[in-house]
Amino acid sequence: MGTIWFWLVAIMITIYVLLDGFDLGAGAIHLLVARTDKERRQVLASIGPVWDGNEVWLIAAGGTLYFAFPALYASAFSGFYLPLMIVVWLLILRGASIEFRNHIKSAVWDPLWDFLFCASSLLLAVFFGAALGNVVRGVPLDASGYFFEPLWTNFRLGDQTGILDWYTILVGVLALLVLMMHGGLWVQMKTSGEVSRRAGRVAGRAWWGVVALTAIVTALTFRIQPQVKENFTTWPLGFVFPVLAVAGIAGVIFELRKHDERKAFFASCAYLAGMLTSVIFGLYPMVLPARNPVYSLTVATAKAGEYGLRIGLAWWITGIILAAGYFTYVYRSFAGKVVVDKDSHGYGD
Amino acid sequence: MGQAVDVHRLQFALTITFHYIFPQLTMGLALLLVYLKTKALRTGDEHYNRAARFWARIFGINFALGVVTGIPMEFQFGTNWAAFSKAAGGVIGQTLAMEGVFSFFLESSFLGLFLFGEKRLGRIGHWVAAFLVFLGSWLSGYFIVTTDAWMQHPTGYRIGSNGAIELSSFLDLLLNKWALWQYAHTMLGAVQTGCFVMAGVGAFYLLTKRHDSYGHTFVRAGVLVGVVAAILQLVPTGDMQGKLVAYNQQPTLAAMEGLFESQEGAPLAILGQPDVEKRKLDNPLEVPNMLSFLTYRQWRANIKGLADFPQTEWPDQIPLLYYSYHVMVGLGTIFIAVMVLAALLHWRGRLYDSRWMLWMLMMCVPLPYIANTAGWMTAELGRQPWLIYGLMRTASGISPRVAAGNAWFTLIGFMGMYTVLGILWLFLIYREIELGPEPSGHLQKDDAAVLAAD
């Protein structure tokens, strides 16, 4: 039962990254691809009706993690106290920027929110990447099952690590590049004209960085977290995940060159999904590795009571089928490229 | 002050209080939006659609702020209350996860369609979207209240082998009788906020002689729904909540009422200031025997005072609890008076011309926010010193490794950020009200300019 929930939470996190990833990415390249007010409204309109629904996956994944692995939720959230609070502030700032911007037209109002939207999206991408880096590297858990990491210590991978060290910063930069590519492909697909062209170019450039850093970070990860190597040698079937990632990243450049905007975006989804599942597969059965492996939290030590997990499965499956239904319907309703000539939201009133 | 537990409590109190400004309006407005859309559908009058669009814009701003200020709430269970989460996450995580899976997906998906897709959806489709937003937001309220109700009155659990609290009955968790009454009481409070805001904006338009027809619609909708909600708030829901506290949290009842000594035929304190050191109520203005009657329906029933309980069982903020409770009840009573009076005037056909009544409705707009906040403070301060009533003390629920200094850092950060957000929120809402419900008032002018420039 614990293993089932491990993978269900993994799937939810992956879906969250695929969905919110493109609107975070769109935010990170906002100022880069859109210069005039009309162009900026195109970018915002491309994520307007869906971004908060995407963010709900974070809340739903968080809630599911909470009830399935309460000890993990408690330990990880209190240990990552400061970065998570900063993430919360950035999410607030970003949500407010998107919502407030279109209410007033003024030479000081719009650029302010455009800047904050871009900056908060960019920082969120880096922080999420660094958070993933922390989990992979392991945290200074002790026998109590708790830890606390300051934002940084000496930037080295010693016993008293901080949130930011050279490895996690590297993962953060990789995350930013990946989401810039992902968001760029989304904006390219959903907009037209100059914005679409620029977004495609940004994605194409980010692609090179993604390839280079993916190779470097992967090599480092095998050295830093021995469990990964162990899992791939024990269950060779797990190689489907990295293969998916490689196929995805190759697909991105292939489809970009062919100017197939939809397929390029979906290839990027495949890359992201492949990367995340590779990492999650590599960590199993750990849910939060410790610097000292004895204290690592595992599926068995962190999971909730059996009855709760079983009953949860019943409502979770129902709920997710419903949610998949809504999302399909919403994305279909807003299919096609956005037009901003009608009103501030791009969807005629 | 200064101990980690105090800072964690202050931060949670601050963030939840600020957060609840938004959902109480959106949950109330969601119901009123369904009402306006139903009117539009049945009468075929575009007036109601324009009215709904106006409120949808206000709904949108509040909803977005509700979402972004809601995320810290879920996070703080883990960041600030780790020991509590580790012990009880297997139970309350159920309802919190269900909120995400069942209501947030529904709400956010259909709100996007409701706000951005009126043309695409058609008349009936748009009504359905409004209804689903309403359903999603009210479901969400249920899951949150169930979570709180479990902390007030834990049911359906057992202590597992590793000391953690495990779920043992899903239905007992979901159908906790405390949750059912608390939900009804909470939602009525939200409906009252929606009604007073709608009626207040309508009254503002009538008093400033603008958008007359909308003013009428808003005042009527607010008053007619509001009068029902105001009465149900007291009987049966408020009454039942009081009884649940009286039977299950006896020290809480005594503290809420400022009753220090046990008494047969205990009085109901209307006014007065509790002096905890001297264990008495200063300047009491009391209705004799009333508390005994309200609690047990017997004039001479014995009510236990705080002195009958060891001091370690007392709520730790007695004056604040006492005032919260009295502010809530006092305002609730005023709401009934105002709404009944307004409804009577409406019945006599004189509501829209009674300027004093319109003034009163307009001035009441902030009050339901205060009453709802005071109500939540009564519930949560009343639960003290317990985090989970009878099971876990508040002080033992905090994150063991988060130092007070780190909690101060984030508390101050939230204070700054929420001050700015609050100012922007007031500014934007006021601006929407100024622009008014007529389509010509909104952004279209500027959009036309943009188009001309292209």
Query: pLDDT at position B438, please?
Result: 86
> What does the block give as tokens for A129?
């990447």
For A:301-340, CB contacts with B below 8 A are 304-305, 307-308, 311-312, 315-316, 319-320, 322-323, 326-327, 329-330, 333-334
**Does residue A339 lie in a domain region?**
no
**Is A152 in CB contact (< 8 Å) with chain B?**
no
Residue from the list A77, A345, A346 with its beta carbon closest to the beta carbon of B75:
A77
**Does residue A91 lie in a domain region?**
yes
Contact between A70 and B88 using a beta-carbon 8 Å cutoff: yes
Say if residue A7's pLDDT is above 90.
yes
Cα–Cα distance between A17 and A23 in angstroms, integer? 10
What is the pLDDT of chain B when averaged over all its residues?
92
Q: How does residue B441 score in pLDDT terms, banded at 50, 70 and 90?
A: low
Q: How does residue A338 score in pLDDT terms, banded at 50, 70 and 90?
A: confident
Say if residue B451's pLDDT is above 90.
no
Say if residue A348's pLDDT is above 60.
no
**Does residue A344 lie in a domain region?**
no
> What does the block give as tokens for A89?
């502030």
Taking only the tens place, the pLDDT of each residue in A181-208 is 999 999 999 999 999 999 999 999 999 9
Cα–Cα distance between B97 and B85 in angstroms, integer? 13
**Does residue A127 lie in a domain region?**
yes
Compute the half-sphere exposure of residue B347: CA atoms within 13 Å on the CB side of its CA. Answer: 8
Contact between A63 and B86 using a beta-carbon 8 Å cutoff: no
Q: Is B344 exposed, middle or buried (0-12, 13-18, 19+ CB in 10 A)?
A: middle
Query: pLDDT at position A333, please?
Result: 82
Q: How does residue B447 score in pLDDT terms, banded at 50, 70 and 90?
A: very low
Note the helical H segments in B117-235.
Answer: 118-152, 170-174, 177-207, 212-232
Give B234's DSSP letter: I
Contact between A98 and B64 using a beta-carbon 8 Å cutoff: yes
Q: Chain B: residue nearest A53 by CA?
A: B108
| Smallest Cα distance from B104 to chain A, Å | 6
Q: Is B337 exposed, middle or buried (0-12, 13-18, 19+ CB in 10 A)?
A: exposed
| Smallest Cα distance from A209 to chain B, Å | 32
By percentage, how much of chain A surpasses pLDDT 70? 97
| pLDDT (mean) for B25-52 | 95
Residue type, A159: D
| pLDDT (mean) for A225-238 | 90
Taking only the tens place, the pLDDT of each residue in B302-313 is 899 999 999 999
Contact between A74 and B82 using a beta-carbon 8 Å cutoff: yes
* Dihedral angle computed from the Cα positions of residues B47, B49, B55 and B60, in that order, rounded to the nearest 10 degrees: -160
| pLDDT (mean) for B158-174 | 89
**Does residue A346 lie in a domain region?**
no
Cα–Cα distance between A91 and A97 in angstroms, integer? 10
| pLDDT (mean) for B406-434 | 95
Quote the distance between the C-alpha of residue B399 and its chain's center. Answer: 27
Per DSSP, the residues of B84-130 read HHHHHHHHHHHHHHHIIIIIIHHHHHHHHHHHH-HHHHHHHHHHHHH
Distances (CA, A) of B106 to A47, A96, A217, B24, B101: 18, 21, 38, 18, 8
| Smallest Cα distance from B215 to chain A, Å | 23
Cα–Cα distance between B231 and B340 in angstroms, integer? 9
Say if residue B153's pLDDT is above 80.
yes
Give B377's DSSP letter: H
Among candidates B224, B236, B274, which has minimal Cα distance to B381? B274
Among candidates A105, A47, A46, A79, which has minimal Cα distance to A339? A46
Taking only the tens place, the pLDDT of each residue in A148-179 is 988 888 888 877 788 899 999 999 999 999 99
10 Å Cβ neighbour count for A255? 19
Chain B positions in Cβ-Cβ contact with residue A62 (cut-off 8 Å):
74-75, 100
Cis peptide before A236 (omega within 30 of 0): no
| pLDDT (mean) for A66-77 | 93
Residue from the list A100, A330, A341 with its beta carbon closest to the beta carbon of B424:
A100
- Per the listing, tokens 């009215």 go with B51
Helices (H) and strands (E) in chain A, counts: 14, 2
Query: pLDDT at position B2, please?
Result: 61
The phi and psi torsions of B386 (rounded to 5 degrees) equal -95, 145
Distances (CA, A) of B204 to A103, A121, B193: 22, 39, 16
Number of domains, chain A = 1
Could you tell me which residue, B441 or A175, shows the higher pLDDT?
A: A175
Query: pLDDT at position A153, please?
Result: 84
* Dihedral angle computed from the Cα positions of residues B372, B107, B170 and B189, in that order, rounded to the nearest 10 degrees: 20
| Smallest Cα distance from A268 to chain B, Å | 24
Judged by DSSP in three states, A57 sits in helix
Contact between A75 and B86 using a beta-carbon 8 Å cutoff: yes
Cα–Cα distance between A339 and A344 in angstroms, integer? 10
**Does residue A347 lie in a domain region?**
no
Say if residue B454's pLDDT is above 50.
no
Distances (CA, A) of B340 to B193, B239, B344, B361: 16, 19, 6, 12
Say if residue A93's pLDDT is above 50.
yes
Among candidates A294, A300, A312, A309, which has minimal Cα distance to A71? A300
Residue from the list A84, A146, A346 with its beta carbon closest to the beta carbon of B400:
A146
Chain A positions in Cβ-Cβ contact with residue B444 (cut-off 8 Å):
343
Taking only the tens place, the pLDDT of each residue in B60-89 is 999 989 988 999 999 999 999 999 999 999
Find the range with the poorest average confidence among A140-154, A206-220, B128-142, B222-236. Answer: A140-154
| Range of the structural domain that residue A169 is part of | 2-333
10 Å Cβ neighbour count for B265? 16
Contact between A99 and B60 using a beta-carbon 8 Å cutoff: yes
Taking only the tens place, the pLDDT of each residue in A37-62 is 889 999 998 998 888 888 889 999 99
| pLDDT (mean) for B9-23 | 96
Note the helical H segments in B208-317.
Answer: 212-232, 239-248, 250-257, 290-296
Query: pLDDT at position A292, please?
Result: 86
| pLDDT (mean) for B308-335 | 94
Chain B positions in Cβ-Cβ contact with residue A104 (cut-off 8 Å):
431
10 Å Cβ neighbour count for B164? 17
| Smallest Cα distance from B361 to chain A, Å | 27
| pLDDT (mean) for B207-220 | 94
Taking only the tens place, the pLDDT of each residue in B271-303 is 999 999 888 889 889 998 888 998 888 888 889
Q: How does residue B359 score in pLDDT terms, banded at 50, 70 and 90?
A: very high
Query: pLDDT at position B345, please?
Result: 95
**Does residue A340 lie in a domain region?**
no
Say if residue A341's pLDDT is above 70.
no
Integer-rounded Cα radius of gyration of chain A = 20
What is the count of residue pairs from A and B with beta carbons less than 8 Å apart? Answer: 254
Query: pLDDT at position B444, please?
Result: 46
Query: pLDDT at position B160, please?
Result: 85
- For B286, the enclosing helix (H) or strand (E) is strand B280-287
> What does the block give as tokens for A96?
């407010």
By percentage, how much of chain B surpasses pLDDT 90? 80
Residue type, B195: C
**Does residue A90 lie in a domain region?**
yes
Q: How does residue B440 score in pLDDT terms, banded at 50, 70 and 90?
A: low
What is the pLDDT of chain A when averaged over all its residues?
90
Contact between A304 and B83 using a beta-carbon 8 Å cutoff: no
**Is A151 in CB contact (< 8 Å) with chain B?**
no
Residue type, B13: A
**Is A100:B129 a contact under the CB 8 Å cutoff?**
no
Q: Chain B: residue nearest A151 by CA?
A: B406
Q: Chain B: residue nearest A311 by CA?
A: B170
The phi and psi torsions of B341 (rounded to 5 degrees) equal -60, -45
For A:92-111, CB contacts with B below 8 A are 92-93, 95-96, 98-100, 102-105
| pLDDT (mean) for B322-330 | 95
| Smallest Cα distance from A121 to chain B, Å | 14
Taking only the tens place, the pLDDT of each residue in B253-266 is 999 999 999 989 89
**Is B96:B146 a contact under the CB 8 Å cutoff?**
no
Diameter of chain B measured on Cα atoms: 80
Q: How does residue B1 score in pLDDT terms, banded at 50, 70 and 90?
A: low
- For A39, the enclosing helix (H) or strand (E) is helix A37-47
